[in-house]
């Protein structure tokens, strides 16, 4: 049975992720401006890393290959994948640090700027081309939604190591 999804189409779902993570970056920057303690910044940074990781994965598994096949702009998709690789490297660095560490805030803020630029390119180029193509973006929203839920339910190895694993 097809699950009802609260998004118009794949682009709508992906852009809702973008807005959600942007709100988290704004929150992180505000905490830095307020000289908030590390204990307050850490969970926001953790959430940013986790959400971006899931978002990049559903794009790479489902959305990007479909757009590449439908649109045929390999250079555009290769560039987007390179930006994902750069973001993943930054996320790994951040996950290897603690919010109290020197340079932590700057690393998260730099990631926020890189994501802003990547999202702008997605909106102005990839999303636009996807909507102009013959892709079934409504059907794809369901696939993206289901995979996202599956990934969010999976306990990431790094997080499992840090926290005590609840039964
Ligand atoms: Fe992306
Ligand atoms: Fe995206």
Q: What is the CATH number of the domain that holds 122?
A: 1.20.120.520
Question: Torsion over CA of 102, 106, 108 and 114, rounded to 10 degrees?
Answer: -150
Residue 24 lies in a domain: yes
Structural tokens at position 37: 């303690």
- Decide if pLDDT at 47 tops 90: yes
Residues with CB under 5 A from ligand 1 (ion): 59
Identify the band that residue 164 occupies on the pLDDT scale cut at 50, 70 and 90: very low
**Cα–Cα distance for residue pair 8/40, rounded to 1 Å:** 34
Exposure of 19 by Cβ count < 10 A (0-12 exposed, 13-18 middle, 19+ buried)?
exposed
The CA 85 to ligand 1 mean position distance, Å, reads 10
| Least confident span in 61-65, 120-124, 132-136, 154-158 | 154-158
Residue 163 lies in a domain: no
For 61, list phi and psi in degrees, rounded to 5.
Answer: -80, -35
The CA 95 to ligand 2 mean position distance, Å, reads 20
Identify the band that residue 20 occupies on the pLDDT scale cut at 50, 70 and 90: very high
The CA 14 to ligand 2 mean position distance, Å, reads 6
Structural tokens at position 80: 């987007």
Q: Residues 83-104: what's their mean pLDDT?
A: 98
pLDDT at site 157: 55
Q: What is the DSSP letter of 103?
A: T
- Decide if pLDDT at 9 tops 50: yes
Residue 37 lies in a domain: yes
Residue 162 lies in a domain: no
- Decide if pLDDT at 73 tops 70: yes
Average pLDDT along the chain: 92
The CA 55 to ligand 2 mean position distance, Å, reads 6
Cβ contacts of residue 56 below 8 Å, gap of 6+?
Answer: 84, 87, 88
Tokens 């290769």 correspond to 78
Which ligand has the shortest distance to the CA of 76?
1
Helix axes 10-33, 137-153, angle to 10 degrees: 50
Q: Residues 31-38: what's their mean pLDDT?
A: 98
Which ligand has the shortest distance to the CA of 86?
1
Residue 67 lies in a domain: yes
Structural tokens at position 105: 């805030």
* 8 A C-beta contact, residue 3 and residue 13: no
Residue 5 lies in a domain: no
Identify the band that residue 154 occupies on the pLDDT scale cut at 50, 70 and 90: confident
Residue 104 lies in a domain: yes
Number of domains in the chain: 1
The CA 49 to ligand 1 mean position distance, Å, reads 14
DSSP SS3 for 152: helix
* Domain, as residue range, for 123: 10-153
Q: Residues 135-161: what's their mean pLDDT?
A: 84
pLDDT at site 5: 74
Residue 161 lies in a domain: no
């Amino acid at each position: 049975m097809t699950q009802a999804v609260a998004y118009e189409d794949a682009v709508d779902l992906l852009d809702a992720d973008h807005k959600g993570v942007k709100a988290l970056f704004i929150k992180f920057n505000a905490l830095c401006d307020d000289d908030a303690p590390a204990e307050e910044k850490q969970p926001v940074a953790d959430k940013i890393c986790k959400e971006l990781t899931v978002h990049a994965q559903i794009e790479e598994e489902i959305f990007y290959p479909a757009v590449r096949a439908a649109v045929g702009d390999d250079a555009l998709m290769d560039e987007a994948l390179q930006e994902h690789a750069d973001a993943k490297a930054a996320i790994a660095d951040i996950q290897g640090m603690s919010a109290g560490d020197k340079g932590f805030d700057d690393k998260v803020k730099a990631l926020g700027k890189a994501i802003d630029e990547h999202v702008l390119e997605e909106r102005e180029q990839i999303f636009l081309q996807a909507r102009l193509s013959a892709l079934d973006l409504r059907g794809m929203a369901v696939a993206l939604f289901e995979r996202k839920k599956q990934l969010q339910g999976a306990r990431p190895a790094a997080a499992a190591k840090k926290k005590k694993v609840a039964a």
